[in-house]
Amino acid sequence: MANTPQSKKRARQTERRTEVNKARRSRIRTFLRKVEEALASGNADAAREALQAAQPELMRGVSKGVYHKNTASRKISRLSSRVKALAKA
């Protein structure tokens, strides 16, 4: 348990940041799920639009420290290749 005033304050700050980060991560997952659903339905236009909406959200998560840059880039790359393959088919 935190004993010093500074460590108590840091514990409070950590609690608040954890809640904010949970909300951000959940929001990003929602955008990614919309892309996945569009891919599963086979609708190329909806998948492309959902991906374009998801990309800035993922990168915002990177800038806020929720995701690592390479992780977000990898997710975008894999999703965009799947969207491209769906558009070809």
Residue ranges per domain, the chain? Answer: 5-88
| Residue 22, amino acid | K
35 confidence band (pLDDT: 50, 70, 90): very high
Contact 43, 75 (CB under 8 A): no
pLDDT per residue as tens digits for the range 44-79: 999 999 999 999 999 999 999 999 999 999 999 999
Instruction: Calculate helix-pair angle for 44-63, 69-88, nearest 10 degrees.
Output: 170
Considering the four listed CATH numbers 1.20.58.110, 1.10.10.10, 3.10.20.340, 3.50.50.60, the one that applies to the domain covering 5-88 is 1.20.58.110
pTM as predicted: 0.88
How far is residue 13's CA from residue 81's CA, in Å, rounded to a whole number?
Answer: 39
State both tokens at 73.
């880039």
